[in-house]
Amino acid sequence: MAAPSATTPSCIAEPPTRLLWRLVPLMVVLVPFNLAWVLQLEVIQFVSWPTILAVPMNALALLVVLTGLNRCLKALGLTSPLRQGELVLLYTVLGLSSAIGGTDFLQVLVSMMGYPFFFATPENRWRDLFLPLLPSALTVQDKNALQGFYYGDASLYRRDHFAAWLLPCGLWLLFVSCLVTAMVCLCLLLRRRWSEEERLTYPLIWVPLQVTEEAGTLWRTAMFWWGIGTAVGVTLINGLHGLVPSLPQLPLRGQLDWTQLIPQRPWNALGAMPFGIYPFAIGLGIFMPLDLSFSCWFFYLVHRLERVMVAALGWDVEPRVPYFPEQATATWVALCLFLLWHARASLWRSWTAPPLSDEPLPLRWAFFGFAVCFLLLTAFGWFIGLPLGLSAVYFALYFLLSLSFTRARAELGAIAHDLPFGGPTNVLTTLLGTQRLAPKTLTALALLYWFNRSYGSHPMPFLLEGMRMAKETGVPLRPLPALFLGTTVVSFVAFFWLVLDLMYRLGAATARVKGDIVRYYVDIYPQLQAWLTVPTLPRRDAAAWMTGAFLGTWAMMHWRWRQGGLPFHPMGYALASNWSMDYLWCSLLISWAIKAALLHYGGAQGYRKTVPLFVGLVVGEAVAASCWGAVSLVLERPTYSFWP
């Protein structure tokens, strides 16, 4: 029992053109506002990172506000109110724009575009090593324009400043549009297979669906308000403690440092284990299937024991062993290939069968669309310096990972799916070594790093979730590809306009910008310097660990597919190595225990009765966190951070 029952379709008769006419103006207004809010939270005030979560709290808070305004307008009879299907599509638009303008997507790109040219010094030798290899059309090389960006007290709207960014931004917009178009095509190809044949539950969509239900049943439920009150109370107490330290706090976050408790080898390899009790994570964890929530926290502890084993065997001379990011990448790739293999009959039917009336476009067009986009992206990689075959492998790995994260959200309801130091850039340089790769190839791999840095902010899962919510509420699917691509373009333009305007006024390298835009996001350039100055050989030990993870994943999936009953899921193994799981494992352990007890003692009916309580936890923390973000903006200082 992973989710409550679906809501009643509410927009079955809505013509597609009318739907777009109603949603597009709202999208054009709300997306820039949402991105401005994200930039304040994540970059300027550095309060929290909502965009690396699968349910962005900023988008959910805006959905609550829109739902409230919609009900007020309906009660007053002032205008034609939005229907549930339109509200959940607006939530999808806000989530998609948050991912595009998020911590692990465009925020990395804007920080990389000019950084090496402004911070090149005789000591780091970047000017000799790789600056001539970076394409001038995709980077900002004018130091006068960059001085205003990094030091502030300048204007974006000076002719030379604006011109320096115009061409690179335009070309990257085409790249991102092609990337998202390929994602839309993949979602169209797999939507029917995953939603209707495998009947995946999409656990994360039930919060927005419950919040926007037209009957308003949730808002009249006492347990929902108890959940809101609990989350708001916890956030209020700890937020006030942050402002006035003499006030009490609820110690819900901390760290268990095993190096202090057991300083002897090999047990000190357990390291420091963060833990946190997050109301929103407990609320979302309730919707996850039990075997999957169990796998997340169980494999997190297994990873810790792997470190002990490595230390006991003396393998920790190489600090990267046991190669957790590479293992996670191999796990995701194996998972995706397994699912595609078992979907081959469905994909073949999509190619051969006549067009279906409920699809946005003929699925053959989706095949052709993905093929064209993939060829264009491969050609782009070749243009910037990758060999043609390596470019194809690079983007094939990227889309396999993207499909896996989308599947994790649709089946598992993964709260976060970041993959730091995994992905094609790091995996290919580890497996192939940098000694055999040309400097131009390594520079091209570094240039593509921005959308492979961690995958916390990923657009593709929002596309498939939006299609499922549209289906649940009776919205026609035909206008959705156009809506998603329009959102991508508006999000890109709005993000760069907002971030460049802010940086030229405040200065990206000044104390007025408290986020990581000139620190962590540009870690690839020192890494590129190391690749070029200290070439490495292929890491056979990394290949062995990845092979083990790949085969183990395939074996577990085969067992689950054929016989079932296995309490472990390989997705949990992949997610357990993520940065986010350091903070989420404890909350998932709690939600797993609560759900197991509810189902054991109360059955499915008892579980359904408590669903409003956990929806309230998520909604309450989203609203309270947004309020603290507003306080931070007024005080011009960081306040309470709901996450991490």
Three-state SS across 416-442? CCCCCCCHHHHHHHHHHCCCCCCHHHH
Where does the pLDDT of residue 210 fall: very low under 50, low under 70, confident under 90, or very high at 90 and above? Answer: very high
Q: C-alpha angle with apex 140: 134 to 38, nearest 5 degrees? A: 115
Provide CB contacts within 8 A for 379, sequence distance 6+: 391
Distance CA(243)–CA(264), nearest Å, equals: 39
Q: Is 5 helix (H, G, I), strand (E, B) or coil?
A: coil
pLDDT in tens, 81-97: 888 999 999 999 999 99
Q: C-alpha angle with apex 154: 153 to 159, nearest 5 degrees? A: 180
How high is the pLDDT of residue 6?
46
Residues forming a β-bridge with 273 = 256
Distance CA(15)–CA(23), nearest Å, equals: 12
Distance CA(392)–CA(104), nearest Å, equals: 22
And the tokens for 454?
């961690």
Specify if 626 maps to a domain. yes
Distance CA(27)–CA(207), nearest Å, equals: 21
How high is the pLDDT of residue 80?
67
Is the predicted pLDDT of residue 7 greater than 60, yes or no? no
Specify if 216 maps to a domain. yes
Distance CA(457)–CA(521), nearest Å, equals: 13
How high is the pLDDT of residue 1?
41
Which residue type sits at 199? R
Residues 469-474, mean pLDDT to the nearest whole number = 92
Phi, psi of 14 (to 5 degrees): -70, 120
| Radius of gyration of the chain from its Cα atoms, rounded to whole angstroms | 24
Give Cα separations from 629 to 44, 50, 117, 348, 512 (angstroms).
Answer: 11, 11, 34, 49, 16
Q: How many CA atoms lie within 13 A of 458 on its CB side?
A: 30
Neighbours of 73 (CB within 10 A): 14
- On whether the CB atoms of residues 412 and 569 are closer than 8 A, the answer is yes
Distance CA(484)–CA(180), nearest Å, equals: 8
Residues 459-467, mean pLDDT to the nearest whole number = 96
Specify if 4 maps to a domain. no
Q: Is 29 helix (H, G, I), strand (E, B) or coil?
A: helix
Query: For 373-382, 454-463, 512-521, which range has the lowest pLDDT when averaged over its residues?
Result: 512-521
Residue with tokens 């470019």: 391
Phi, psi of 575 (to 5 degrees): -70, -25
- Calculate the CA dihedral of residues 466, 471, 474, 477 and round it to 10 degrees: 70
How high is the pLDDT of residue 520?
66
Distance CA(294)–CA(299), nearest Å, equals: 8
Specify if 2 maps to a domain. no
Q: Which of 415, 397, 471, 395 lies closest to 194, judged by CA?
A: 471
Q: Which of 87, 97, 106 lies closest to 31, judged by CA?
A: 97
Where does the pLDDT of residue 544 fall: very low under 50, low under 70, confident under 90, or very high at 90 and above? Answer: very high
Distance CA(450)–CA(441), nearest Å, equals: 16
Instruction: Quote the percentage of the chain above a pLDDT of 70.
Output: 96
Distance CA(216)–CA(8), nearest Å, equals: 12
Distance CA(86)–CA(69), nearest Å, equals: 14
- On whether the CB atoms of residues 594 and 282 are closer than 8 A, the answer is yes
Is the predicted pLDDT of residue 4 greater than 60, yes or no? no
Burial pattern 399-419, b for ≥16 Cβ within 10 A else e, equals bbbbbbbbbbbbbbbbbbbbb
Query: For 8-12, 142-146, 189-193, 302-306, which range has the lowest pLDDT when averaged over its residues?
Result: 8-12
Quote the mean pLDDT of the chain.
91
Is the predicted pLDDT of residue 239 greater than 80, yes or no? yes
Residues 525-545, mean pLDDT to the nearest whole number = 94
Where does the pLDDT of residue 517 fall: very low under 50, low under 70, confident under 90, or very high at 90 and above? Answer: confident
Packing angle, helices 16-39 and 84-100, rounded to 10: 40
Distance CA(640)–CA(249), nearest Å, equals: 12
Distance CA(205)–CA(251), nearest Å, equals: 30
Distance CA(416)–CA(326), nearest Å, equals: 18
How high is the pLDDT of residue 633?
85
Is the predicted pLDDT of residue 256 greater than 90, yes or no? no
Packing angle, helices 460-473 and 480-506, rounded to 10: 130
Is the predicted pLDDT of residue 587 greater than 70, yes or no? yes
Is the predicted pLDDT of residue 119 greater than 50, yes or no? yes
- Calculate the CA dihedral of residues 109, 143, 503, 53 and round it to 10 degrees: 20
How high is the pLDDT of residue 34?
96
Residues forming a β-bridge with 274 = 255
The secondary structure element, H or E, covering residue 366 is helix 363-384
How high is the pLDDT of residue 148?
94
Distance CA(623)–CA(617), nearest Å, equals: 10
Distance CA(607)–CA(287), nearest Å, equals: 10
Specify if 1 maps to a domain. no
Where does the pLDDT of residue 296 fall: very low under 50, low under 70, confident under 90, or very high at 90 and above? Answer: very high
Q: How many domains does the chain have?
A: 1
Specify if 181 maps to a domain. yes
Helices and strands in the chain, H and E counts: 24, 2
Distance CA(90)–CA(63), nearest Å, equals: 8
Specify if 489 maps to a domain. yes
Specify if 230 maps to a domain. yes
Give Cα separations from 285 to 233, 480, 591 (angstroms).
Answer: 20, 29, 5
Highest mean pLDDT among 212-226, 396-410, 569-583: 396-410
Q: Supply the DSSP string of 484-548, one letter for each residue.
A: HHHHHHHHHHHHHHHHHHHHHHH-TTSTT--SSTTTGGGTHHHHHHHHHHS-----HHHHHHHHH
CA 456 to chain CA centroid, nearest Å:
3
How high is the pLDDT of residue 491?
98
Residues 71-75, mean pLDDT to the nearest whole number = 85
Which residue type sits at 214? E
Give the total residue count for the chain. Answer: 644
pLDDT in tens, 424-449: 999 999 999 999 999 999 999 999 99
Residues 468-476, mean pLDDT to the nearest whole number = 91
Is the predicted pLDDT of residue 249 greater than 50, yes or no? yes
Is the predicted pLDDT of residue 560 greater than 90, yes or no? no
Residue with tokens 């009318």: 18
And the tokens for 207?
């919060």
Burial of 302 (0-12, 13-18, 19+ CB in 10 A): middle
- Calculate the CA dihedral of residues 290, 292, 293, 296 and round it to 10 degrees: 150
Residue with tokens 């959102």: 487
How high is the pLDDT of residue 2?
44
Is the predicted pLDDT of residue 5 greater than 60, yes or no? no
Domain range holding 339?
Answer: 16-635
